[in-house]
Amino acid sequence: MLFSSDNIAACAPEIMAAMAEANAGAARPYGADPATGRLEALVTEVFEKPAKVFLVSTGTSANALALACLCPPWATVYCHQKAHVEEDECGAPEFYTGGAKLTLLRGEAAKIAPDALADALRFTARAGVHNVQKGALSLTQATELGAAYTPDEVAALAGMAKAAGVPVHMDGTRFANALARLGCAPADLTWRAGVDALCLGATKNGAICAEAVILFEGGAAHDRAWEFELRRKRGGHLWSKMRFMSAQMEAYLTDGLWLRLAGRANAMADRLAAGLRAIPGVEIAAPMGANMMFPRFPRRGHRALQDAGALYYLWPGDQSLDGPDDEPLQCRLVCSWATTEAEVDAFVATLSGALAAKAA
Task: Give the footprint of its own copies on residues 56-95 (CB under 8 A).
Answer: 56-62, 64-65, 72-74, 87-92, 94-95
Among 21, 28, 38, 217, binds its own copies (CB under 8 A): 28
Closer CB to its own copies, 72 or 159, in the complex: 72
Interface residue with its own copies among 40, 44, 118, 133 (CB under 8 A) is 133
The CA-atom distances, in angstroms, between 172 and each of 123, 135, 139, 195, 213 are 28, 19, 8, 11, 10
Report whether 119 contacts 103 (CB < 8 A).
Answer: no
Nearer to its own copies, 112 or 182 (CB): 112
Measure the CA–CA gap between 209 and 177, rounded to whole angstroms.
17
- Interface region with its own copies, contact rule CB under 8 A, candidates 22-30, 45-53, 158-166, 292-300: 22-30
Query: Closer CB to its own copies, residue 96 or residue 149?
Result: 96
Q: Give yes or no for residue 335 binding its own copies (CB under 8 A).
A: no
Q: Determine if 25 is a binding residue for its own copies (CB under 8 A).
A: yes
Site for its own copies in 286-325 (CB under 8 A): 317-318
Among 233, 283, 307, 349, binds its own copies (CB under 8 A): 233
Closer residue to its own copies, CB minimum distance, 183 or 226 = 226
The runs of H, that is alpha helices, within 138-189 are 151-163, 175-182, 186-189
225 burial (CB, 10 Å; 0-12 / 13-18 / 19+) is middle
Q: Which of 83, 102, 112, 329 binds its own copies (CB under 8 A)?
A: 102
Strands 168-172 and 133-140: parallel
Strand partners, 314: 331
Residue 311 · residue 3 · CB < 8 Å:
yes
Give Cα separations from 31 to 38, 53, 57, 170, 229 (angstroms): 10, 11, 14, 24, 11
Q: Report how many residues bind its own copies under the rule CB under 8 A.
A: 77
Q: Select 321 or 356, whichever has its Cβ closest to its own copies.
A: 321
